[in-house]
Structure 1
């Protein structure tokens, strides 16, 4: 059975809950694209962890 490579699901509620905003999306997209193009995405772990370190508090949206 072949892997289904037809899409990528992102947990946008979780992204918002960790405090990411619209301004953070270009960097998130860049990291995702780089990982998808890489033959060794695990090699990016330190870079991703460093960026993710800035999102260390949970945020909730109240309506």
Structure 2
């Protein structure tokens, strides 16, 4: 089993237990579940919703976690 298949299994497990998670996690999980079929081979990361006043530093700090 490769890494992508392993992540797909985890996403399927997460989706099946979605009701047990807080709302902010459910939204991203549903988004990832919807995107999964259209982006084979991509690693879907947990996102974050920023308000309209988010500054460059806040956005860069968040993005740096994924580099």
Task: Report TM bin, short chain.
Answer: 0.3 to 0.5
Name whichever structure is richer in helix by fraction: 2
Q: Which has the higher contact order (CA 8 A, sep 6+)?
A: 1
